[in-house]
Amino acid sequence: MARLTAFLAGLLFALGLGVSGMTQPAKVVGFLDFFGRWDPSLIAVLFGAVAVHAVFARRALGSGRPWYAPRFELTSLTRVDARLVAGSALFGVGWGISGLCPGPALVSSVAFVPTTLAFVAAMLGGIALFRVMRGDPASDQTVQASVEADTTEPC
């Protein structure tokens, strides 16, 4: 059952990305083009997603435990540090150059556009590079004991 819900969540997520316009790099770049031909419409994507998720996530997290898992796996990180800002800045530059962030890139990869495929391959390479450089697998992510324990789960 856990696999089915995760699959359905992925499916719904992809449809949301497609409907919202996030899978169209030209639209994303237009949104980031503050000093050119700015197209603010994608703000509505963030607004819609956060409005829905903020309400339901709070209720879910207050409910004790997930349906098909022993506990909620949230990050234990709370500190705003240089690593967070540097990583987000690098990501943002790549996002601005390509108009692609990880979700839309994976969703769009099924259309087999060469530029997108090159991006996805490089993205996976960048992820692997980080893992290799840090020399650790993702297995520390359930370590909740220490704030310094670097959970690999975002946010």
Footprint of another protein on 16-75 (CB under 8 A) = 16-26, 29, 32-36, 41-54, 56-58, 60-61, 63, 65-75
Question: Is residue 147 at the binding interface for another protein, with CB under 8 A as the rule?
Answer: no
**Closest distance between another protein and the C-beta of residue 145, in Å?**
17
Does position 11 interact with another protein (CB under 8 A)? The reply is yes
Q: How far is the CB of 124 from another protein (least distance, A)?
A: 6
Taking the C-alpha atoms of residue 106 and residue 113, their distance in angstroms, rounded to an integer, is 12
Q: Tell whether residue 149 is a contact of another protein (CB under 8 A).
A: no
Closer to another protein by CB, 4 or 145: give it.
4
Go through 56-82 and write b for each residue having 16 or more CB atoms within 10 A of its CB, e for each that does not.
Answer: eeeeeeeeeeeeeeeeeeeeebeeeee
In the shown chain, the binding pattern of residues 112 to 141 toward another protein, with x for contact by CB under 8 A and - for none, equals -xxxx-xxxxxxxxxxxxxx----xxxx-x
Name the DSSP letter for residue 14. Answer: H
Quick one: which of 128, 103, 98, 129 has its CA closest to 116? 98
